[in-house]
Structure 1
């Protein structure tokens, strides 16, 4: 592995009257003999005595890349080069996940994730931005909440495998532009307000101790491209590597916000816009995140709804993947029409609750007409992002080799259900790829491979950014996508064929 940290074991000559070079120069020249030019930090200089004398000048040197060169961050007695660890963190607005990585083998030794403690100051990013606006005290609370969440992950990792964060040389962090601003204690109102000139989009390598992260080297924050296209997307691209493909590909990070990239090794056309909190169970009366008690899968058989619950216990609500399944099943079985309107005559499970039509998807839990309407707006926004970017780039869907749908939602949602309701494009399902947490995967990539830093510069240079909110006909295109699966059924041939088969089966059963 040739990552952004190194551990080198040195056996150096002891000083003599004839060779009275300083301890500092012995370390530097010893590294130079290994092909490494480096400087020494003050902390490592203080470790020279008495360590080098007591250990007979047989020491292991920890090296951290700091953006322009190697820095010696630590000296250890004997050969500890096999104990070489690093950390990678996905700093999400909802969940913060950290991996401990063996930088000798690339193996992930442990992973820990917790809800972002910033949620206490707002479940959505905009609320947090306004909470901190012009308030240094509130901003410090937000910064501390982000750091404390990471520290909570590190504590759990230490308890699991016995490796302290101080034993790790570097940490990489990927997060959207707002999250990185909060982590660094920067006011993030610039992300939201015109002219959208953020304070920092390429913070690079920062001393861990300055941020409050107890690694002995640096924290590398993935750079972003714009206010709504942050380091989590750059990191995701580094993970899936569409910028190296000859064929055209799409990368879609879908969540509360949707970020989309279409391109190959020649260009990367990027866009970002609000996808909607409904994808994470938000704004739905009984919606919840994908945790224990959430309905994550739904099917309708013989007029009955069968719901799978995470943790196999009592259903407490429904998450994004469950919602997509539910809508697809309601549509396939004719319980909702093309407009997504519930048809009460089709099932006794559809009834009025508090003046609104709703369907009971689990005992005592209802999905309301208003919930359906909100989710249709969400799915329409997601589909229209893809449709507009294809139109803007002048390519057809048939020319796309792969469509990566990243994030927790993309990993767990049924491809078939997502196509049925018109959220995903109707293509061969093998071309729809769910790579999981690409933001975290990309953070691990750069931890283990320093050459990714050059590729990040390549990615940023290729990116051309479009803000969907500024597109004149975006809302008009989105309105056409509100229908199930779409106003233009020719865009969804497999869904049209499936509906025709079901109608034929219903007619035969009626005979």
Structure 2
């Protein structure tokens, strides 16, 4: 069948399409991003577009997300609308466009001393902290003679052993190609590139002419589901040269890992997803290198951390069985990859090392976080929390570590919320409610478009404190000026249509509140289950480390008030920023630290909450603000009681 033209506005970009293609697929081919939480499954309703000209095929799955008036006005879901045999023009509304998200490129882990030894005993080789995974050694070899007639390779080994006497050195076969000529043409002066991931047996991956030891750089990468951050690091000094972050280009295939697994295993295959993440990383590294005036050929080593699905997609590994019971990944620990094999730009013989995962839903980003915060080196019991669609939690100390993944859902990232959105321009992020007076702060100092996770937590806490809703999340103050009913559903109006950029009111409905309570309840219940397996309570936690971009903008007091975080002294709770990136950097700068990360992953015991007998009971008990058992939240109970006395 012949092709037709699809013009997208406001980009004014025209793309050729075939009959039967969805508008989402056409936009993706044209590098036009449309919000797409579900990967084209038609279950999120976030990809609304308006047909300005032409006719399209309307798939019935979208009826549940669009009102009759919207359909009559030409609104469709891009993933559920197919091209017919005529040219069309499509408008992408503001709420359906992707905006640059605030990307966390820093961490609060400023100091990191030498890690404790992994084991004790005379056979353990102690490695100093600063011992990068990839090192360059400049060698001035003695010329062979009749009395010194060892081979060229043995001559290199001999010289390296003078620097590293405790190691057995091996060379990759490719270094032998042209080695004889290279040494003799360059007066036996050469530079060897060694990778030290195997602490007992460093590998020579490259031999270069002359002294190139000053040009040796590595890249630490946080491969997040939503965003990717890369740091360029001088491996001679450990100095961070630059850092860049951007949205993960995989997002066009689905906002969460489940959607991307479905796409990879059913719809579009694995290759587009792998290409998207590789392209994102390459563009970041190229940008940093150009700003620093560094050749990408001088990048010899990458260390990446991501959840288990993101790691599989990065390496081009099939992720299909991660989401199917019994939830088995292809691998949890990954051999080094030659970057050229998967398309990463750097030296042709550079290696990619991925941080080890624990299970299908506790990945290398969590291993990196444990390494970075050092909870595995502390005698006190600590918790690491990374709040997202899957809330990963680790609890333990230097003697034991347990972990789990709580299916919190996408509410804190704007999914399943009527006016929810990510922390991008136009998102309401901070809220103060005092009686009838409402104040809010918007990201980018623009007109509001919706509300993001931190704003939702603020609102939930304020509504309870002001008794606009009860502790079940039900509206009780119906005469409040910001409370109204739409289609018989109660909702709280944050901004009327004339105040917003879209012309539509930003509201939070009673159904939205129920979704938020379920999300926060899953996180708290998971922590409680892990602790109770060791006869412990929240009070036994000496530290809670909150990782990731969401935590960086979280109000601790309000998070405790709604029961997302346990009621412990606030000075025990610390935001540690992008701990996934920090852990990757530590592993890049220390072969010892990478070995420690592998030991941490092996040490962690994974709890599968879906089959845990107590989790559902704890989850149900957590569906209250802050909790059914108020004795767990004494400070919140005190504030609520004080409020009731004042109101009387």
Q: Same fold (TM over 0.5)?
A: yes
Q: Secondary structure at the match of 2:269?
A: helix
How far 1:131 moved relative to its partner? 2.0
Residue from 146, 151, 161 that aligns with 1:32: 161
Q: Secondary structure at the match of 1:361?
A: strand
Confirm or deny that 1:365 pairs with 2:496.
no
> What is the rounded CA distance, in whole Å, between the counterparts of 2:581 and 2:467 in structure 1?
40
Task: Tell me whether 353-362 or 172-181 shows the greater mean CA deviation.
Answer: 353-362
Give the match for residue 133 of structure 1: 265
> What is the rounded CA distance, in whole Å, between the counterparts of 2:266 and 2:630 in structure 1?
50
Residue from 180, 189, 195 that aligns with 2:320: 189
Residue from 469, 481, 500 that aligns with 1:348: 481
Task: Tell me whether 172-181 or 471-480 shows the greater mean CA deviation.
Answer: 471-480
Confirm or deny that 1:421 pairs with 2:562.
yes
Give the match for residue 202 of structure 1: 333
Identify if the C-alpha distance between structure 1 residues 164 and 308 changes in structure 2 by more than 3 Å, giving closer, same or farther: farther
1:85/1:168 contact within 8 Å kept: yes
Identify if the C-alpha distance between structure 1 residues 71 and 381 changes in structure 2 by more than 3 Å, giving closer, same or farther: same
| RMSD between aligned residues | 2.2
> What is the rounded CA distance, in whole Å, between the counterparts of 1:306 and 1:75 in structure 2?
63
> What is the rounded CA distance, in whole Å, between the counterparts of 1:101 and 1:227 in structure 2?
30
Q: Secondary structure at the match of 1:132?
A: helix
Where structure 1 has 5 or more consecutive residues not aligned to the other structure, the ranges are none
Task: Tell me whether 467-476 or 439-448 shows the greater mean CA deviation.
Answer: 467-476
Give the match for residue 519 of structure 2: 378
Where structure 2 has 5 or more consecutive residues not aligned to the other structure, the ranges are 1-129, 500-504
Confirm or deny that 1:161 pairs with 2:300.
no
Q: Secondary structure at the match of 2:391?
A: strand
- Which structure 1 residue ranges, 4+ long, deviate > 6 Å from structure 2? none
Task: Tell me whether 370-379 or 389-398 shows the greater mean CA deviation.
Answer: 389-398
Q: TM-score, normalised by structure 2?
A: 0.74
> What is the rounded CA distance, in whole Å, between the counterparts of 1:402 and 1:350 in structure 2?
39
Confirm or deny that 1:321 pairs with 2:454.
yes
> What is the rounded CA distance, in whole Å, between the counterparts of 1:334 and 1:234 in structure 2?
41
> What is the rounded CA distance, in whole Å, between the counterparts of 2:308 and 2:517 in structure 1?
28
> What is the rounded CA distance, in whole Å, between the counterparts of 1:236 and 1:346 in structure 2?
47
How far 1:190 moved relative to its partner? 1.1
Task: Tell me whether 1-10 or 297-306 shows the greater mean CA deviation.
Answer: 297-306
How far 1:303 moved relative to its partner? 2.5
Q: Secondary structure at the match of 2:237?
A: coil
> What is the rounded CA distance, in whole Å, between the counterparts of 2:580 and 2:301 in structure 1?
17
Listed as ranges, the matches of 1:50-61 within 5 Å are: 52-53=183-184, 55-61=186-192
Give the match for residue 121 of structure 2: none
> What is the rounded CA distance, in whole Å, between the counterparts of 1:43 and 1:157 in structure 2?
30
How far 1:4 moved relative to its partner? 0.9
Confirm or deny that 1:264 pairs with 2:376.
no
> What is the rounded CA distance, in whole Å, between the counterparts of 1:206 and 1:113 in structure 2?
23
Confirm or deny that 1:292 pairs with 2:425.
yes
How far 1:49 moved relative to its partner? 6.5
> What is the rounded CA distance, in whole Å, between the counterparts of 1:402 and 1:437 in structure 2?
17
2:478/2:484 contact within 8 Å kept: no
Give the match for residue 621 of structure 2: 480
1:93-119: CA deviation from partner (whole Å, max 9, x where unpaired): 211211112223322221122222222
> What is the rounded CA distance, in whole Å, between the counterparts of 2:400 and 2:470 in structure 1?
40
Give the match for residue 352 of structure 2: 219
Residue from 120, 127, 135 that aligns with 1:6: 135
Confirm or deny that 1:339 pairs with 2:468.
no
Q: Secondary structure at the match of 1:258?
A: strand
How far 1:214 moved relative to its partner? 2.8
2:305/2:364 contact within 8 Å kept: yes
Confirm or deny that 1:330 pairs with 2:463.
yes
Task: Tell me whether 83-92 or 412-421 shows the greater mean CA deviation.
Answer: 83-92
1:206-230: CA deviation from partner (whole Å, max 9, x where unpaired): 2112222233321111111221222
Q: TM-score, normalised by structure 1?
A: 0.93
> What is the rounded CA distance, in whole Å, between the counterparts of 1:18 and 1:387 in structure 2?
72
1:256/1:280 contact within 8 Å kept: yes
Confirm or deny that 1:89 pairs with 2:230.
no
Give the match for residue 180 of structure 1: 311
Residue from 232, 235, 239 that aligns with 2:365: 232
How far 1:77 moved relative to its partner? 4.9
Structure showing the higher helix proportion among its residues:
1
1:269/1:393 contact within 8 Å kept: no
Q: Secondary structure at the match of 1:422?
A: coil
Task: Tell me whether 342-351 or 290-299 shows the greater mean CA deviation.
Answer: 342-351
> What is the rounded CA distance, in whole Å, between the counterparts of 2:289 and 2:180 in structure 1?
29
Identify if the C-alpha distance between structure 1 residues 379 and 449 changes in structure 2 by more than 3 Å, giving closer, same or farther: same
> What is the rounded CA distance, in whole Å, between the counterparts of 2:294 and 2:486 in structure 1?
53
How far 1:283 moved relative to its partner? 1.4
Identify if the C-alpha distance between structure 1 residues 263 and 193 changes in structure 2 by more than 3 Å, giving closer, same or farther: same
How far 1:42 moved relative to its partner? 5.0
